[in-house]
Each structure stands twice: as structure tokens, then as C-alpha cells.
């Protein structure tokens, strides 16, 4: 009887240990089915009236199992979009490189994504050229400041020599009255000299500090540029701040476009539109401008020409590589630059590369 009781106690302890070890582990089974267009779709529940099959079970957040790479289920369960535009934002990502960041968007459920060439090759674009020109301009400014400071120091040395000569002359005077007058005049010149010396010393210290900071920034920029020219892997940040790595698949030789891929995942993707774009059409730009992720702006197509689609939808630095979409969520262009009189932050027009260019460059990967 006592042995049976010990066995029951032992069984209870084992069950408690098992419960502790597996606490919080919940799996979600993912089903796949073909839609009316013949493309595979994924869902966390069987589709009624469709032939579905389970493809994989994923551990939910907080579990001890593998982290889910089914971005569709992950984002749908969190955001539950109610219209095509909201749904489109789930396919847009932030793309980070060694010299900055831009935007991109998934174009297939197998995690191919499109962005701008200058986002993944920032050392070969207008932004890099502008930064390089600014560095050269700053270097010239430091050189001019150094020459000006050297001239001021030479003049200060001349003034010190004159001051010493004046003092020697003053000490040789025999008349007390003349010496007193000379001492008063010497005090004025000496005070002016020491004020000039204090100013020049302060400028010299500040210039040396600024120049050391500039040289470090210049060195860091050159190093990052070298890495950016050969980088093959980039950090991708999803709408919910999930971070994954994507590899570079192809860079367009003619257009400001690049194709990346996240391995082993199921992604929400945007359909490349087939409808002709025309003036007055309402469009939305999605991206990560000015370091702010997941931003949406609305405007109209102001012009369609050989160089691209122009729109007054707000496009700012960081929007590069993001999609320009219609109200049905279909992509009509890839945002690439801003045309403005002054800086890119001023009012102007955004330019997008037509999706036909995406098909021309990456068509064989998109089927």
C-alpha cells in the first residue's frame, strides 16, 4: 500500500515536471490551397470547399518551438486589415544597408521582394554622390580655415615681436614722465595682443576638435561605402518590427531596381498591376520615410511619361523602393526619387518606376 502511494506521488511529480517544461507551447497548423487563379494560398484554418493540406505546424510566440516564418499568419492575426490598402501595407518592409535604409515590398508568396538599386548599392547613386560632394566641400572648408588660422598666427607673432621691441625701447627711456606714458601705451597694446592670442587659441582648439570628428566620419563613410559595394545580405524589418535577413538576388543593369529574397518563408505579397496608369488616378505611397516605418500617403498621378510616373503623393527620403499602389492594392510603380526645387524635404513630385520595368528585369523570378 505504501509502495503504491510512493508510485502515485512519483507520477504526480513527473507530470508536474512535464507540465512545466511544455507550458506555453501551442502549435498552429498551417493549411495551403489553390485560389481561383491557381496560386497557392496559406491559412491557419482549412478553406471550406477547397482541397487543403497541412504544410507545417508553427510554434506561437513565447513557445519553446521554432519561430514562425509564416509572415501571412503572423501579420494577419495582429493587424486584421479591413481594406486592400491596409492589406498592402503588410507586404511592405524596411530594407537596411551599411549606409542607410529604404523600403521594399514582397512580390511573391515565396518571399521575393523588390526595392531600389540605390538602397542596396548606396555607394553607386545620387545620394552617395551628394554625400561625397558634401565631404569634399567640408574638407575644402577645413583647409581654408587652417590657412586663415595660420595667417592669423603669423600676424600674432609679428605683433608679439613689435610688443617686445616696444618694451625694450620703453625700458631704455631715462625720463620718468616719458616712461610712464610709454607704459600706458604698452598696456593697451599688450591687452589687445593677449585678447587676440586667446581668440586664436580658442579657434585653433575648436577647429582641431571639429577636424578630428570630420576625419573619423570621413573614414567611417569610406569604410561603409566599400562594404556597401559588395554587400549580399540585408536586414529586413516587417510591419510588426520582426527582423529577418534577405539575400541579394539580382541588380538591374539599366533601372534603379533590385531583387532580394528571404529564404524559407511565406509572405504577404503585392500584385503587379496590369491596368494602364493615367493622370488623375488616385494612388498611395507606402514606405519608411525619415526613419519612420510603415507610413502611408495619398495623392494623384500628375504625369505619366517615359521617365516614370509622377505623383503629388508625399515621397520623402526612406520611401525609396516602396510601392505606389492603386485603391485595390495593386502596384503601379516603385518609388525612387523626389523632384523639388530645394531639398527633398520641400514640396515637389515623387517619381516611380512603372511595374512593367519590374517584369522586364525580374520576370523569371516572379512566376
Yes or no: say if 124 and 116 are a contact pair by the CB < 8 Å rule.
Answer: no
Compute the distance between CA of residue 266 and CA of residue 112 in angstroms, rounded to an integer.
10
Q: pLDDT value at position 320?
A: 86
Q: pLDDT value at position 124?
A: 58
* Same fold for the pair 84-117+236-366 and 129-228: no
Yes or no: say if 333 and 309 are a contact pair by the CB < 8 Å rule.
Answer: yes
Count other Cβ atoms within 10 Å, centred on residue 208: 12
Q: pLDDT value at position 314?
A: 81
What CATH number has the domain spanning 84-117+236-366?
2.40.10.120
Q: In order along the chain (367 residues), what is the average pLDDT of each group of 10 residues?
A: 46 40 38 57 54 43 48 92 94 87 93 93 68 85 91 92 89 86 89 92 92 84 70 92 94 94 94 91 87 84 89 81 94 80 56 93 91
Q: pLDDT value at position 38?
A: 59
Q: CA geometry: angle at 187 spanning 181 and 191, to 5°?
A: 155
β-bridge pairing 323-325 and 40-43: unpaired
Q: pLDDT value at position 61?
A: 35
Three-state SS at 135:
helix
Residues contacting 44, CB < 8 A, separation 6+: 28, 29, 30, 31, 73, 77
Domain range summary for the chain, segments of one domain joined by +: 2-68, 84-117+236-366, 129-228
Q: pLDDT value at position 7?
A: 45
Three-state SS at 129:
helix
Site of grid cell 491557381: 38
- Of residues 62, 126, 73, 115, the one with CA closest to residue 92: 115
Site of grid cell 592670442: 197
Compute the distance between CA of residue 304 and CA of residue 220 in angstroms, rounded to an integer.
40
How much is the pTM?
0.60
Question: Where do the H-state alpha helices sit in the chain?
Answer: 2-21, 71-79, 84-89, 117-120, 126-171, 176-228, 355-366
What CATH number has the domain spanning 129-228?
1.10.287
Q: pLDDT value at position 252?
A: 94
Q: pLDDT value at position 348?
A: 62
Q: pLDDT value at position 177?
A: 87
Amino acid at each position: 500500500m505504501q509502495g503504491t502511494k510512493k508510485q502515485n506521488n512519483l507520477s504526480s511529480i513527473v507530470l508536474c515536471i512535464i507540465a512545466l517544461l511544455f507550458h506555453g507551447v501551442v502549435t498552429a497548423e498551417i493549411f495551403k490551397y489553390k485560389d481561383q487563379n491557381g496560386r497557392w494560398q496559406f491559412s491557419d484554418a482549412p478553406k471550406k470547399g477547397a482541397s487543403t493540406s497541412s504544410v507545417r505546424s508553427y510554434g506561437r510566440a513565447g513557445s519553446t518551438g521554432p519561430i514562425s516564418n509564416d509572415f501571412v499568419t503572423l501579420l494577419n492575426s495582429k493587424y486584421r486589415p479591413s481594406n486592400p490598402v491596409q492589406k498592402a501595407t503588410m507586404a511592405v518592409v524596411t530594407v537596411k544597408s551599411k549606409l542607410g535604409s529604404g523600403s521594399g515590398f514582397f512580390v511573391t508568396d515565396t518571399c521575393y521582394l523588390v526595392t531600389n538599386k540605390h538602397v542596396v548599392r548606396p555607394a553607386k547613386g545620387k545620394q552617395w554622390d551628394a554625400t561625397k560632394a558634401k565631404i569634399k566641400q567640408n574638407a575644402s572648408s577645413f583647409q581654408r580655415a587652417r590657412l586663415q588660422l595660420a595667417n592669423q598666427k603669423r600676424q600674432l607673432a609679428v605683433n608679439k615681436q613689435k610688443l617686445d621691441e616696444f618694451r625694450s625701447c620703453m625700458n631704455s627711456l631715462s625720463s620718468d614722465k616719458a616712461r610712464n606714458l610709454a607704459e600706458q601705451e604698452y598696456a593697451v597694446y599688450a591687452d589687445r595682443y593677449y585678447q587676440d592670442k586667446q581668440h586664436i587659441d580658442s579657434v585653433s582648439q575648436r577647429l582641431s576638435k571639429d577636424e578630428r570628428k570630420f576625419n573619423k566620419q570621413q573614414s567611417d563613410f569610406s569604410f561603409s561605402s566599400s562594404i556597401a559595394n559588395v554587400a549580399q545580405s540585408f536586414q529586413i524589418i516587417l510591419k510588426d518590427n520582426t527582423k529577418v535577413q534577405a539575400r541579394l538576388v539580382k541588380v538591374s543593369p539599366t533601372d534603379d531596381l533590385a531583387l532580394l529574397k528571404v529564404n524559407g518563408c511565406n509572405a504577404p505579397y503585392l500584385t503587379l498591376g496590369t491596368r494602364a496608369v493615367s493622370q488623375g488616378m488616385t494612388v498611395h505611397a507606402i514606405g519608411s520615410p525619415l526613419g519612420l516605418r510603415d507610413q502611408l500617403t495619398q495623392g494623384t498621378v500628375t504625369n505619366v511619361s517615359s521617365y516614370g510616373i509622377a505623383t503629388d503623393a508625399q515621397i520623402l527620403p526612406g520611401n525609396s523602393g516602396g510601392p505606389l499602389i492603386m485603391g485595390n492594392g495593386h502596384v503601379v510603380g516603385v518609388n525612387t526619387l523626389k523632384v523639388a526645387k530645394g531639398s527633398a524635404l520641400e514640396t515637389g513630385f515623387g517619381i516611380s518606376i512603372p511595374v512593367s520595368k519590374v517584369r522586364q528585369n525580374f520576370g523569371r523570378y516572379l512566376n
